[in-house]
Amino acid sequence: MTQKHIHILGVCGTFMGGVAIIAKQMGYQVTGSDINVYPPMSTFLEQSGIKIIPNFDVEQLQPAPDMILVGNAMKRGNPCIEYMLENRLPFTSGPQWLHDNLLRNRWVFAVSGTHGKTTTTGMLSWILDQNGLEPGFLIGGISGNFGVSSRLGNSDYFVIEADEYDTAFFDKRSKFVHYNPKTLIINNIGFDHADIFDDLKAIQRQFHHMIRTMPQSGLVLSNAAETSAKETLAMGCWSAQQFVGEEQEWYAERITNDCSQFAVFHHGEKVAEVTWNIVGQHNMHNALMAIAAAHHAGVSVENSAKALAGFVNAKRRLEVKGEVNGVTVYDDFAHHPAEIQATLTALRDKVGGGVRILAVLEPRSNTMKMGHHKDEIAPALVRADHVYLLQPDNIPWEVVDIANNCIQPASCTADLDKLADMIVAEAHPSDHILVMSNGSFGGIHQKLLTKLAQKS
């Protein structure tokens, strides 16, 4: 092995932390640094024997490691980046290193799309694992089944969450361009990441670049109803294509209203039923994609359905944080109008029409903070009975604009504690409080549970 010591800048990000654990399992000496050192990733890294330095002081690069992996959060001006460049130390990106040292020798299942990546990657990894294929995987969250975000695996199969975000400060291509998949899932393609993409066409172009790297023996799975995916495939595709949707190769039909039980159809024939502890039409769609991808590797639909019965989703996917005095508090990662709508629809299908849902939203993603999708948020919240919005102090627009466009009662404030008080004052037994953010939301979940317990 020529590269004995790998040092990772930005090691506590979900992706780079996952790369670190895989490199350690491959036999490399791995160290890393970050200023955002917190569980669960910091715990997993330490348990794997990976030393974390909680700063970017240049001493960590003395003596020089054999290779520096640069996380995409690292920017020019960072002391380690400047030292690395000035002293001509060897460096690369996480995705490029992963390709060169692992993925090019594997059957890669890449799970892409604006929404549903983490969940679908977890499902596919679990299906392959339960059918004895011992896959490696890298998931953009802590898997509910495996308890980790990544592993090397013991076979040719590797499942990876294929993120369209950029690779590094020196490589502005999407991360997934480096993965060279044999099986590609495109769940959907929508506009997001307005901080790095000018428009939807720029994102579609990156998807096209990934498709260009696939072999003819490969397979692209996409949604027949997705116009943006169709447009992308029309730019050129040299692999087989299969589609999900009515009158397509793959189709799913719910048996229960909340999709906790659904039927799977292949070429028009019902071939299996899935009964599981997950809800929502979007998750039924995710499962169908995972089933179709596993089928490409020879796993029968029936065996995939059996595996999904034991699937446990990653945290922050309609996760119950607690129940107090008959009020249930959920946490969800939804941060895009399509995700907000899908999550609310799933919860509505689960609890029924006669139960109140209080939706709580923090506009926190880069795209939201820039004001993109602002006009789409109120319509996405339509399944909620009452809406509560936090006004962040770092955005150039007012969330009251969303509140004014809501058809149901909507409240907003810049004070987190006041927001929690407003929600608790409104909450009644049997209500469901759905908190949505791609950040910690100031710990509002526990604030709500504590205040609900104190409510007389």
DSSP alpha helix (H) spans, 116-240: 117-130, 200-212, 227-234
Dihedral angle sign, alpha carbons of residues 298, 301, 306, 310 = positive
Closest C-alpha among 168, 165, 172, 103 to residue 138: 103
Q: In angstroms, rounded to a whole number, what is the distance separating the alpha carbons of residues 177 and 99? A: 10
CB 437 within 8 A of CB 339: no
With a CB cutoff of 8 Å and minimum separation 6, the contacts of 62 are none
Q: In angstroms, rounded to a whole number, what is the distance separating the alpha carbons of residues 84 and 102? A: 25
- The first and second tokens of residue 4, run together, are 């004995």
Q: Which SS3 state, helix, strand or coil, does residue 433 take?
A: strand
CB 407 within 8 A of CB 385: no
Residue ranges of the annotated binding site for ATP are: 113-119
How does DSSP assign 3-63, residue by residue?
--EEEEETTTSHHHHHHHHHHHHTT-EEEEE-S---TTHHHHHHHTT-EEESS--GGGGSS
**What single-letter DSSP state applies at residue 64?**
P
Residue ranges of the annotated binding site are: 113-119
DSSP alpha helix (H) spans, 235-280: none
Closest C-alpha among 156, 124, 128, 155 to residue 139: 124
Closest C-alpha among 400, 448, 385 to residue 421: 448
DSSP alpha helix (H) spans, 178-309: 200-212, 227-234, 281-296, 301-308
Closest C-alpha among 213, 188, 381 to residue 285: 188
Closest C-alpha among 94, 148, 97, 103 to residue 121: 148
Output the CA–CA distances (angstroms, integers) from residue 24 to 29, 115, 352, in the order listed.
Answer: 6, 30, 47
Q: Could you report how far apart the first and last alpha carbons of the chain are, in Å?
A: 65
Neighbours of 403 (CB within 10 A): 19
Give residue 217's Cα distance to chain centre. 27
Extract the runs of DSSP E, i.e. beta strands, from 283-370: 319-324, 327-332, 357-361
Closest C-alpha among 244, 297, 289 to residue 267: 244
